Structure 1
Amino acid sequence: MTAQSGKKKTNRTRSGASAKGRQPRSKVAGKKTSRKSAAPRKWVVKQRSQRKTPLNRGLRRLFTGLLTLSLALLMVGSALVISWSVALNERVVARFSGALFQTPAFVYAAPLELYEGKALSMQQLHDALIQAGYRSAQNLDQTGLFARQGQRVAIHRRGYIGPQGQVDPRILHLNIVDGQIDQLTDVRGEPLGIDQLEPVFIGHLYPNVREQRELVSYESIKNEAPLLIETLLAVEDRGFFEHSGVSPTAIARAFLTNLLSGGRVQGGSTITQQLAKNFFLTPERSYQRKAAELIMALLMEWQYPKEKILEGYLNEVYLGQSGAQAIHGFGTAARFYFARPINELQAHELALLVGMVKGASFYNPHRHPERALARRNVVIDVMAANGLISLTEADELKARPLGVVEQGQMRARHPAFLNLVRRQLSEQYDRQALQTQGLRIFTSMDLAAQTALEQATSKLDLVEKNRGLPAGSLQTAGVIASVRTGEIHAVLGGRDPGFAGFDRALDSRRQIGSLIKPVIYLEALRQPQRYHWLSTVLDEPLTVTQAGSEDWQPRNFDRQFKGEITLLDALVDSRNVPAVRLGLDLGLDRVGMQFETLAQRPLGQRFPAMLLGSVQASPLEVTQLYHSLSADGFVTPLRAIRAVVDQEGQTLTRYGLEVSQAYDRQSMHLLQYGLEQVVARGTARSLQNHFAPRLRLAGKTGSTNEGRDAWFAGFSGDRVATIWVGRDDNQPANLTGSSSALPIWAAAMEPLNLAPRSDRAPPGVVYRNACLDEGVVVPEHCPGVAVPFYRDYPPPRIDYCLGQSDNDQEKFQPSQEGVFDRLRNWIQ
């Protein structure tokens, strides 16, 4: 007991010593403190040592609040990023789910047909090849090249998609002798019946006024121009086929380079990022735009194959400016800078285009050729460093000039023709389809005829000088078409062929003057029991009474009268009064009905003045009229389109020949003879200075009051053409058809290989030797001119030669009453 008590006492003493200076703890509830209660007491002391002070509590609350806020912000930010990414992805999917680009319809000229016997000079073939972008070369190792040796020409023709489907490339050998193809064979020497060059692109329908784009496919570039892809990736994105849309190493490299240089000298964007920026974003430099670019690049790579992304880039990249239009894509750039398709460009030309990706304006070869050359050579060095070409080739390529073609506007070269195509297509295709679906429109344009017609406008300068008019005061318009098919070969809308404004060929309706006279004579010749070419009509003053208006007194151009003349002479000399007398005798309704049939358009109310061409018509409508006169009685609506093909090469529409026989061949043959005499000895006889008589050209001049309008419409065996000349303000200009319109017609048709008109008379028509001065048929051995007549309606005939004796006139007894006699009897 004593020992234990002493031990306890000792412990209390130590406890008391350690608590010196403090009051001893009081006992709780009067109980003694035992050893068993020591542990709880320790626990109480520990809790007291960690008791929070006001400062600790504030820090903890701040930390907890910041943590909570950070988590909340992270959650909100993640939600926003996800939401933003979803929105960005919707834009990506919307663009990539369909066609990446909406392109307007492509319009092509008719291909140049090649066959043995075709009239084609060496110069014409050369011009056609140059227009199509072919180059002269010694080795035909790729398409788009030709080689000439003497009379032989070898052509490596391009492949193309046409109305007949895919046409493969082919090497052609031609032998041209005396202005025609003497031989046509393939590369093995096997004869070819017929072949053709590829159709030449001439413009777009409803083009985008802000940009030009000629689409290329990844597969076509991979197969036909693989060096473009290899060079582009070597320069712009070497890891394109390995990264996932973003290249961290490229970004880090660019960051380090820019940091060391103190500015932005290098970018770290992949091709996918560049495409995302070009497709969806603005050029502004901001963190938000860059973040969107990264997200969209990742989304594009996650959902779409590399090939489609690269194809989009090949067609979207900006490569220059043509006036107000941006040049997008390598296909367009190849045409703009080199006038050739991308697959025909050589290594140094591809290097220039790839180099321009870095800055198309800064390295513009037209404005800054030195910069462009230096940049091109840098790309050539990259090509050599990556093993795409040898060092020797690189040195040789760097020594070459840029080789770009002369800068020009990327506008349609033939806007008047395209305007006609657009109008004819509008009957079946709406504007949206023509503007967005990339349709291929194959037309009937003959590039040689179109070029000749446009160049003929230079004759206006001489016309103005000869007529004493201010320079540049006259305008002109014209149309050339095929006699056989009714296909339109060329359209001229104004003095400036490249101006896409007012189209006078389609929209300028002017009085046609004497061009209507053949309609009157055709109606007369269709009545052989009453009229033939030797029938007479009175050329004397005439007063026409018109109900509700003043009397009309038609006059001849020379203000003179010739008395009684034959119908043939009245037409050949374009006498006005005889035409009016004849038309009134036939009836305005009948003449008007023939005009509507021939011109394929309504005439409206009939007035006597229409017999002298008060009718208003456009050059296109006049060409329709004269096409009907040239086609041996067949009426064919003129057309400019052959076929429409979609982007996949499927033919959507073919435009066939629509023909109806409206007149018998006999009466039309008789009328054509009269129009032939107009050229041979009448108001259009100056054409004899330009064309061989064997062509037997036919046509008619026309002019209106005070020379406001001048016309000539004529045809050969294969082409019919109309030319109008006048002032836009319709002021007097002292013009005539023979002095103003006919020279332009001759200049347009002379370069073409016109076919002669047939001299074969149809069944039922016979030619007789006629004395035109007396209007009778004379024996074959007598002086005279061969004139056609209906076999069953013979003209007056005598059995001797006129001028042999004084009794000749007494022996002549006309067998048919003339118009003058009928008119006199009617008056009586």
Structure 2
Amino acid sequence: MAKTPKNESAKSKPKETTKGKLKQGAKKESGEKSTAKNPKTTRKPTARKNTKKSTSKSQTPSFKQRFFRGLWSITWKASLAFIAFIIICGIYFDKKIERRLDGSTWTLPAALYARPLTLQVASPLTQHALVSELKLLNYRAVKSVQSPGQFSTAGKRVIIYRRAFDFPDKSEPAQLAEVSFNWQGVSSLKTRQQSHLQQFRLDPLLLDRLNSKQIQDRVFVPFEKIPDLFINTLLLMEDRNFYHHQGVSPFAILRAFIVNFKAGRTVQGGSTLTQQLAKNLFLSQERSLWRKFQEAYMAVLIDHKYSKDKILEAYLNEVYLAQNGATGIYGIELASDFYFARPVDELRVEQIALLVAIIKGPSYYNPRRNPERALARRDLVLRLMLEHNYINTAQYRIAAKGNLNLSNAKALNNRANPAFVSLLNRELQSDVPASVRKKSGLSIFTSISPLAQKNAEIAIQNGVPKVQKEGQHDLQGAMVITDREYAEVRAIVSGKNVKFSGFNRALDASRPIGSLVKPAVYLTALDQGYALTDTLNDKAIILKNSTGQRWRPKNYDRKFRGEVTVEYALVHSLNVPTVNLGMQVGLGNVIDSLHKMGVNEKIPAYPSLVLGSVSLSPFQVAQMYQPISMKGVYKPLTMIRSIVSSQGEVVYQRSQHAQQIFSSQSVSQLSNALHKVTTEGTARSLRWRNPRQDFAGKTGTTNNLNDSWFVGFDKDEVVTTWVGKDNNKSAELTGSSGALVLFSDYMKAKVGN
């Protein structure tokens, strides 16, 4: 095979076009220019080629670079989003906390208080009555009085250490006083320093709390009233680092994690008291990371915004401690009352230990259902209190020996009487502005006397079975007790079952009043100029009504006496002379008198009116007799004295209207006659039933002996009593054989017999 010559090979290459030559020339010129500008640079084609490749690689990032750049971008964006989320949550949580803790933290029930007992020199109060009232107030009888809530007796002296209390007019501190008695009543009042007092006021009894259908019940107690021993013991058991952490304790969380990990189950919590407060106030019981995050974040914010004392105050008023039926018992003040029937600042060492023990688990350590567990936990708390020198050895031994000493489980439920709560609600609706009623945490001060209420309840409960005839089991009774001078309701009972919240006989049982109407007839006559010595006919008469029907009134004994004096007719409750008198003074005038006395019912002008055909409730009868007992001055019966807001401001004060509706001379004559009713008339059995007591009063009996009535009054009270049946059948009792007996029993209890 012939070899190809080199020159032929060269010839075989394609020829360069003019355009190609121009490009090469241009490139050459360009290279020359570049060389001219950078004389030090030596152009090498191969080196130039390699440089182009290196530039291409640097302009395209590797996968690793792209990954980390993307990761960084996501990280800082996520961080910004997280920071924004934290800030937004912080603002939201902060506002939520502020609204709750700076405003009304709780919707508190209204507290219903009895009247405070005011002791005055020369007041007719007996020593027995004072001691009975102190016991109702849960004052403790001791040999030597040392602290508030205690009293002692020695001969005719009673030494009292009164609790501090915020009265509507002023706050009064705890104070010790010595009360001396003689046969007339209070003879002297002295302080610890033996200086004389003109009066001494006891703290009032808490009658009830009006919950407004809330399922939580609590009584707020300010931090300064919580004993230091309670605070120290609580922190010892629940959060020892409370005053040093910032709302969350990482060490406590770590410790709890280790303990729970070793145990294989949750045996210890790492939450601080601040976290528990945040959970109780704002969160549910759901177990989730989101809930724990909110709890911790809120705890930090709460700790930053509020003092430690404020946080403790909120926690101790919020913590759940017991269940009373459908209502939860929250806060240590109400729990102290629920378990021990005393305020938290009067708890003994062992009671403080038990209450702190219960906080750990109110159901698990329920002292009524699980007394052994509760006792063991209490003793543990006592040992730790001793180890940390919160109590000494002597205190520990006394406390550890004691049993649980719980109060009656039904004490809170038994406190309220539906009869006076019903009356209170009616008065609230009719007299108190809605803007006041809607406020939270009101203190309502009433005229209810705890001792009068207790004695009235006993009189009805024991008296009704005593007077009912053999074979009867459906007899009922009601009683209303009012203050003569101030027309205030002191007590009200609506039936044998004093806790029954149904039909209120005292307010709503409208029954014929019989001879109770007669004083209104005689008072009308006396006000027209009649005298007690004037005479009336006691002879058979026949009257016709508007339809022509004839009516022949008769006396109870079916006898006629010819002529009798006005006084005799009233004292012996004679029907025929009363009808004659009523016709003489005018039925319209009698009706006017009844209306002036507070009877708001429409009363037909029938002759039978003057014998008591008008139907009224016991409360209405009490109103009718109020001006008779108060020299002819009419005042509407009332129960509410004043209402104080949770801030201590008086938001309602009763203003009582008084009007002279009968002359005092006429009422004085009537009162003298009513006094004779109890000594020689239809109520004369009171002479031997209550031999050392002085009364005025009037019996009432209706047709077929269906209703038994008695209204009696002494120096300071008017007592209205009714006995009968709800089905309106015969009670087989007169006024003197039924209602008067219950009145007598009440008055005996009043003086301590």
TM-score bucket of the superposed structures, by smaller chain: 0.7 to 0.9
Identity of aligned residues (%): 37
Superposition deviation, residue 317 in structure 1: 0.4
Secondary structure of the structure 2 residue equivalent to 1:517? helix
Q: Look up the equivalent residue of 1:478 and give its one-letter code.
A: M
Distance 1:106 1:616 in 2: 35
Q: Look up the equivalent residue of 1:119 and give its one-letter code.
A: P
Q: How does 1:1-12 map to 2 (within 5 A)?
A: none
Secondary structure of the structure 1 residue equivalent to 2:546? coil
Confirm or deny: 8 A CA contact 1:463 1:739 kept in the other structure: no
Distance 1:277 1:268 in 2: 13
Q: Please, which moves more after superposition, 715-724 or 699-708? A: 699-708
Alignment-derived partner of residue 813 in structure 1: none
Selected match of 1:469 from 468, 472, 478 = 472
Structure 1 pair 700/61, CA: closer, same or farther in 2 (3 Å)? same
Paired residue total:
716
Per-residue CA deviation, residues 579-604 of structure 1 (Å, 9 max, x unaligned), is 22321222111000011112353544
Distance 2:344 2:371 in 1: 21
Alignment-derived partner of residue 130 in structure 1: 135
Confirm or deny: 8 A CA contact 1:165 1:649 kept in the other structure: no
Distance 1:42 1:399 in 2: 99
Alignment-derived partner of residue 722 in structure 1: 720
Alignment-derived partner of residue 176 in structure 1: 181
* Structure 2 residue runs without a partner (length 5+): 1-26, 32-41
Q: How does 1:250-269 map to 2 (within 5 A)?
A: 250-269=252-271
Superposition deviation, residue 75 in structure 1: 5.0
TM-score normalised according to structure 2 size? 0.88
Structure 1 pair 559/469, CA: closer, same or farther in 2 (3 Å)? farther
1:365 aligns with 2:364: no
Distance 2:75 2:648 in 1: 59
Structure 1 pair 61/610, CA: closer, same or farther in 2 (3 Å)? farther
Per-residue CA deviation, residues 107-128 of structure 1 (Å, 9 max, x unaligned), is 2222222233333444333222
Superposition deviation, residue 378 in structure 1: 1.5
Secondary structure of the structure 1 residue equivalent to 2:265? coil
Superposition deviation, residue 517 in structure 1: 1.0
Structure 1 pair 139/732, CA: closer, same or farther in 2 (3 Å)? closer
Q: Look up the equivalent residue of 1:733 and give its one-letter code.
A: A
Per-residue CA deviation, residues 159-191 of structure 1 (Å, 9 max, x unaligned), is 211133011221111233447333321112222
Structure 1 pair 462/96, CA: closer, same or farther in 2 (3 Å)? closer
Per-residue CA deviation, residues 310-337 of structure 1 (Å, 9 max, x unaligned), is 2111111011011121111011111111
Superposition deviation, residue 373 in structure 1: 1.1
Alignment-derived partner of residue 538 in structure 1: 538
Alignment-derived partner of residue 159 in structure 2: 154
Secondary structure of the structure 2 residue equivalent to 1:726? strand
Distance 1:468 1:613 in 2: 29
Superposition deviation, residue 506 in structure 1: 2.1
Distance 1:461 1:602 in 2: 29
Structure 1 pair 290/730, CA: closer, same or farther in 2 (3 Å)? farther
Distance 1:727 1:495 in 2: 12
Confirm or deny: 8 A CA contact 1:600 1:637 kept in the other structure: no
Q: Please, which moves more after superposition, 78-87 or 306-315? A: 78-87
Task: Report the aligned-residue RMSD.
Answer: 3.0
Structure 1 pair 431/409, CA: closer, same or farther in 2 (3 Å)? farther
Q: Please, which moves more after superposition, 202-211 or 331-340? A: 202-211
Q: How does 1:553-702 map to 2 (within 5 A)?
A: 553-599=552-598, 601-655=600-654, 658-692=657-691, 695-702=693-700
Alignment-derived partner of residue 309 in structure 1: 311
Per-residue CA deviation, residues 658-699 of structure 1 (Å, 9 max, x unaligned), is 432222222212212222222122221222222236x44111
Alignment-derived partner of residue 377 in structure 1: 379
Selected match of 2:197 from 192, 198, 214 = 192
Per-residue CA deviation, residues 330-349 of structure 1 (Å, 9 max, x unaligned), is 11111111111111112221
Q: How does 1:177-576 map to 2 (within 5 A)?
A: 177-178=182-183, 180-221=185-226, 225-411=227-413, 412-430=415-433, 433-434=436-437, 436-463=439-466, 465-466=468-469, 468-470=471-473, 473-528=474-529, 532-547=532-547, 550-576=549-575
Selected match of 2:113 from 101, 104, 108 = 108
Q: Please, which moves more after superposition, 117-126 or 368-377? A: 117-126
Alignment-derived partner of residue 779 in structure 1: none
Selected match of 1:93 from 94, 98, 101 = 98
Selected match of 2:733 from 729, 735, 753 = 735
Distance 1:353 1:39 in 2: 92
Structure 1 pair 206/361, CA: closer, same or farther in 2 (3 Å)? closer
Per-residue CA deviation, residues 341-372 of structure 1 (Å, 9 max, x unaligned), is 11111222111111111111211112222111
Per-residue CA deviation, residues 522-568 of structure 1 (Å, 9 max, x unaligned), is 1222233x553440223314232224x74444444445544444333
Per-residue CA deviation, residues 284-319 of structure 1 (Å, 9 max, x unaligned), is 222222222122222222323322222111111011
Distance 2:711 2:599 in 1: 17
Secondary structure of the structure 2 residue equivalent to 1:204? strand
Alignment-derived partner of residue 762 in structure 1: none
Confirm or deny: 8 A CA contact 2:367 2:404 kept in the other structure: yes
Superposition deviation, residue 82 in structure 1: 4.3
Secondary structure of the structure 2 residue equivalent to 1:713? strand
Structure 1 pair 725/421, CA: closer, same or farther in 2 (3 Å)? same
Confirm or deny: 8 A CA contact 2:349 2:395 kept in the other structure: no
Q: How does 1:742-753 map to 2 (within 5 A)?
A: 742-753=740-751
Structure 1 pair 144/425, CA: closer, same or farther in 2 (3 Å)? same
Superposition deviation, residue 240 in structure 1: 1.7
Q: How does 1:3-22 map to 2 (within 5 A)?
A: none
Per-residue CA deviation, residues 429-456 of structure 1 (Å, 9 max, x unaligned), is 3456335432322222222211110110
Q: Look up the equivalent residue of 1:743 and give its one-letter code.
A: V
Structure 1 pair 197/629, CA: closer, same or farther in 2 (3 Å)? same
Distance 1:435 1:208 in 2: 13
Superposition deviation, residue 74 in structure 1: 5.2
Distance 1:539 1:103 in 2: 66
Secondary structure of the structure 1 residue equivalent to 2:750? coil
Distance 1:628 1:253 in 2: 75
Confirm or deny: 8 A CA contact 1:257 1:266 kept in the other structure: yes
